[in-house]
Structures are given as C-alpha cells and as structure tokens.
Amino acid sequence: MDRLLLLLPTTTYRTQDFIEAARTLGVDLVCASERPNTLEAQLPDRFLTLDFTDPDGAAAAVAEFSRAHPLRAVVGVDDVTAVAAAAIAERLGLTSSAAAAVATARDKFQMRECLAAAGVPIPRYRRLALKDDPFFAARGVGFPCVVKPLTLSASRGVIRANNVDQFIAAFRRIAALLARDDVSVTGDGAEYVLAEAYIPGVEVAVEGLLIGGELHTLAIFDKPDPLQGPFFEETIYVTPSRLPDEVQRRIREVTASACAGLGLAEGPIHGELRVNETGPWVLEVAARSIGGLCSRTLRFGTGVTLEELILRHALGRPIVSLDRERRAAGVMMLPIPRAGRLRAVHGETAARAVRGIEDVTITAHRDQELIPLPEGWQYLGFIFARGDEPAAVEASLRDAHARLSFQID
Amino acid sequence: MSDDLKTKVQDLIDTMINPAVAGHGGFVELIDVQDNRVYLQMGGGCQGCGAADITLKAGIERLIKDELPEVAEVLDTTDHAAGANPYYTAGKA
C-alpha cells in the first residue's frame, strides 16, 4: 500500500478534506504537524512532529523516518508546509517542484524578482527594511501603493496607502503585526516589507495543477466584492468566471508564464491576479492549493475533489479528468466584522434554506477571540452555493450571509 | 453483534484512547455503533481542536481498527464549533 505523508499544521482548515481524500484513495497515511499529536506516542509510525520553518531539518527527520516506513508521496497544504514538503520530496526523490522554486514563491519579494526577470506583468515593487525610518522609506514609493509582509497569507497585514502619512501608519502597523506572538516569521520575512503599486481593476483567483511543467487551469474564480483597500478582506469567490473568454485565456497564459518563470513544475498552484484594460497582472502565485474550506466548491469529473486530484498527482496515480463540473459554484468566507469574542451565531437554519445554498459551516468556536484584518487571519466560517449561473450563486451567497448574525462581545 | 462490538469499542476508548487524549485535555465518547460504523463525539480540548480530524482519522480510527478489524469506519459527530477550549485553534491557511 502506498504511504503518504501529509504536512498538516494544527492551525489549518485543510485537514479534513485532505484526510478524506487520502481515505478515498486507500493510502497508508502519516500525518506530520508542527506540534505533537496527543496519540504520537501510541502511533509513532502514524504521526511526526516537524519544524516546518526548517525545511532541511524536516527533510532530514523524514529521511530517517522513511528508512523504516518508505514514502510514496509527501504533500503540504499551505504556504509554509509547501516549502517543507518540497524539501522532503527533493531529498527522497518524490514528485514535487524544486524546493528552491517553492521557496521563491513563498517570499513575495523573491517571487517578484523572479517574475520581473521572466517578463511577467507584475506591479512595480520595492523591498523596504523594517529597521529603516518609514518617512525616508516612503520617498521611493509611488502612491497609491500596497504595503504587505513578505511571507504572510490570507491578506494578513496587507494595507493600501494613498499618501506618505498612510504609508507610515501601514509600515508601523505591519512591523507591530510581525512582532506578535502568533506570527512566526523568520529571516527576511521578519526584517522587510514589500511596497508595490496598487493596481486598479478586478481581482481573480486561479486554481491550477502543474503536471510535468504544464499548467492545467482547474478554475478561475471571480471576486465580485471590490478589493480596493485599505484592507483586502476576501469574501466571495465564484466560478466559472464571468470575464470574457479572451480575458480568461490571457489569465491562463500569464499564470502559466508565472509558474514557468518561478520554476514551478509539479503540484497545485494558487494564483491571485488583477485584471484591467491593460490585461492581467500577477499579484502572486503560491505553490499550494486554495486556502480555507474554499476547495469544497470544486468538483471534477464524476465528483472528484481538488484534494484527491492533488494526492493522485503526487502518488503518480491516474487522473481521469481535470474538467470542473459544469454548474457554477461559489463560496463566501465570512469576514470578522470586529474584534471581540464570539458568543453566538444566529440564522444558520435560515441561511441554509436559501435556494442554491449547499452548506453553511461556522468554523469559529464559541468564545473564540476574533481578530479582524489586517492583524487577523481567520474567518467566522464559510457559505457554499451552487447554481446554474454564477450570478445566481453570488446572489444566494449574499442572501444567506444577510440572514446570519453574530453576537460578538 | 453490534452490542458486543460496542462493548469492545468502549473498552478501547476507556483503556487506550481516553488516557492518551487526556494529555491535551480531551476525551472521546462513544455515541453508537451501527453497521460496523463507530460514531464518536469528542470533548474538552479535542472539541474544536485544529488537530481533531488528524487525531480521529489517523489515530483513533487506526487504534480501533488494529484491535477490531471488523470496524469499517469511525465517524465524528462532534459539534466542533461549540468547543470552547480547543487545544489547537484552526485558522486559514
């Protein structure tokens, strides 16, 4: 039986879907987390504790483990574990993009350096040292700009600045964020921020799977809520895109050129692009699949999940179809409206009753401390919808959301 | 048959599983066994824990199936959103 190593941080939403896919495929599953599982002592062949921020150390530990328990594949589920998984795969000779390419994609500055060299359209950018005086750092920055950490995800710490005063405030706010106990960034990620030109236009997300260097676009998601700042909270994703076919073709082309420019060749990618009258602009391409529970919008062939596709590819098993189902699908990530503690959620039944709604999943737990953007990174939950047309899906999501209320003290 | 299996699963939970998950302030309750499917509920530090799925599917299910191969599946019936004190808290990634 094939043995699969999944790298699952204790903070990820992705665990259930990847474990379910592993069960469907009947693999012998080994789970690694950054903190010990409560059953690790009983099942040392099933659980590993790895420092995901030290890819080489993780690779050495897994190489040792694999002597007694040979692995067929290793898969990371987020930005941090993707880098560790690539290092492990490289060491063990398993299917993966090159570790250096995945690490480059993880660092927003290195990514832009690479994409710029490859001629991929990206915003004008500068890397700024946090030790510098933001007043002087602002001198080389055009406005409006977007200031962001190098390595955080989920729009965490991403702030628009329209002038020097806003830039200085954003710079200091990100510096404070990076110093928080719940932020574990090291190296350049702890010492620099990125400032890049704000690109007006609509934003899309691209989900893809690289096989032998070829990008297979699995879905293009429209983001119908405007993302204009000052923070960039993601809410609704709907696929298929309603953009003209020619624009979608260019999105696929530009994303593929970004993957090639980065040297990514195998496995899932998640791209974020802005699109305006001059065409698509790559904001980022990550060597991982879509975050949160959003992958539940995607079904392929006869109902195969995104996670099963990813695992099949990593395991070298046949993939019957990469075609998404014909129906439109969407998800709404429920934003945190304000800081506080979640005391109650009302209206779930009414939200589920909305036509087209498939599920409402509240992931925040009762009494959980809620931290909104830009410091926070979590969601209250997710709403999922399907319908004949993208517009109907979007309407269902908005209707369901309007029926929910959250008591936050 | 199901009652007999239920007794054996309960015994495993009492002797093997709960002493282990107690280390993270958690516990597991047997809800039912039907058609060789074991329905569990997780509480304490396990309820809402970011690693609950890992613990259940890669850990508890494996422990139960090793001892009781006739068990087809172990299913979680926990309302994890109601967990007030999870050992690890999930977040987007």
Mean pLDDT value of segment A291-314: 97
Q: What is the pLDDT of residues B33-75, one digit of tens each?
A: 999 999 999 999 999 888 999 999 899 999 999 999 999 999 9
Query: What pLDDT does B92 receive?
Result: 41
Angstrom distance (rounded) from CA A191 to CA B79:
41
Helices (H), ranges, A49-133: 55-68, 79-92, 99-106, 108-117
Query: What pLDDT does B90 receive?
Result: 60
B83/A38 touch (CB, cutoff 8 Å), yes or no? no
- Asked if A346 has any chain B CB less than 8 Å from its own CB, the reply is no
What is the nearest CA distance from B9 to chain A, expressed in angstroms? 17
Q: A251 to each of A18, A120, A241, A244, A280, how far by Cα in Å?
A: 28, 12, 11, 11, 6
Angstrom distance (rounded) from CA A41 to CA A43:
6
CA dihedral B26, B28, B29, B35 (to 10 degrees): 160
Query: What pLDDT does B91 receive?
Result: 56
For residue A200, the tally of other CB atoms under 10 A from its CB is 10
For residue A227, the tally of other CB atoms under 10 A from its CB is 18
Give the B window 38-67 contacts with A, CB below 8 Å: 47-51, 53-55, 57-60, 62-63
Identify the CATH homologous superfamily for domain B2-82: Fe-S cluster assembly (FSCA) (3.30.300.130)
Q: Does residue B93 surpass a pLDDT of 70? A: no
Query: What pLDDT does B50 receive?
Result: 85
Query: What pLDDT does B82 receive?
Result: 78
Across the interface, of A31, A292, A364, the residue whose CB is closest to B81 is A364
For residue A172, the tally of other CB atoms under 10 A from its CB is 12
Q: Taking the domains of chain A in order of start, what are their residue ranges?
A: 3-104, 124-197, 328-409
Mean pLDDT value of segment A41-58: 95
Q: What is the pLDDT of residues A303-361, one digit of tens each?
A: 999 999 999 999 999 999 999 999 999 999 999 999 999 999 999 999 999 999 999 99
Angstrom distance (rounded) from CA B43 to CA B29:
8
Q: What is the pLDDT of residues B5-27, one digit of tens each?
A: 999 999 999 999 999 999 999 99
Q: What is the pLDDT of residues A99-119, one digit of tens each?
A: 999 999 999 999 999 999 999
> Mean pLDDT in chain A?
96
A11/B48 touch (CB, cutoff 8 Å), yes or no? no
B58/A46 touch (CB, cutoff 8 Å), yes or no? yes
CATH fold label, A3-104: Rossmann fold (3.40.50)
Angstrom distance (rounded) from CA A46 to CA A363:
26
Amino acid at A348: E
Residue % of chain A over a pLDDT of 70: 100
Angstrom distance (rounded) from CA B59 to CA A16:
14
Residue A274 pairs in a beta bridge with A203, A281
- Asked if A1 has any chain B CB less than 8 Å from its own CB, the reply is no
Q: A356 near A332, Cβ under 8 Å?
A: no
Q: What is the pLDDT of residues A17-35, one digit of tens each?
A: 999 999 999 999 999 999 9
Q: A198 near A205, Cβ under 8 Å?
A: no
The strand pair at A236-239 and A405-408 is best described as unpaired
Angstrom distance (rounded) from CA B62 to CA A343:
35
Residue A369 pairs in a beta bridge with A341
Q: What is the pLDDT of residues A204-229, one digit of tens each?
A: 999 999 999 999 999 999 999 999 99
How many contacts does A have with B, using Cβ atoms within 8 A? 118
Buried b vs exposed e over A326-365: b needs ≥16 C-beta within 10 Å?
eebbbbbbbbbeeebebeebebbeebeebebbbebbbbbb
Query: Domain A124-197, CATH 3.10.129.10 — does that match?
Result: no
Query: What pLDDT does A367 receive?
Result: 84
Q: Does residue A50 surpass a pLDDT of 90? A: yes
ipTM of predicted complex: 0.87
Interface test with A, best of B27, B54, B65 (most A CBs within 10 A): B54
Pair of tokens at residue A209: 């799977």
What is the nearest CA distance from B80 to chain A, expressed in angstroms? 7
Cα B72 to chain centroid distance, Å, stands at: 14
What is the nearest CA distance from B46 to chain A, expressed in angstroms? 10
Residues of A in contact with B21 (CB under 8 A): 38-39
What is the nearest CA distance from A322 to chain B, expressed in angstroms? 24
Identify the burial level of A207 via C-beta atoms within 10 angstroms of its C-beta, where 0-12 means exposed, 13-18 middle and 19 or more buried: buried
- Asked if A233 has any chain B CB less than 8 Å from its own CB, the reply is no
Identify the burial level of A407 via C-beta atoms within 10 angstroms of its C-beta, where 0-12 means exposed, 13-18 middle and 19 or more buried: exposed
pLDDT range class, residue B88, cuts 50, 70, 90:
confident
Closest CA to A330 of A368, A296, A354: A296
Tell me which H or E stretch contains A131: none
Across the interface, of A13, A19, A42, the residue whose CB is closest to B93 is A13
Query: Domain A328-409, CATH 3.90.1170.50 — does that match?
Result: yes
For residue A90, the tally of other CB atoms under 10 A from its CB is 18
Query: What pLDDT does A185 receive?
Result: 82
Mean pLDDT value of segment A143-149: 97
- Asked if B92 has any chain A CB less than 8 Å from its own CB, the reply is yes
Amino acid at A299: R
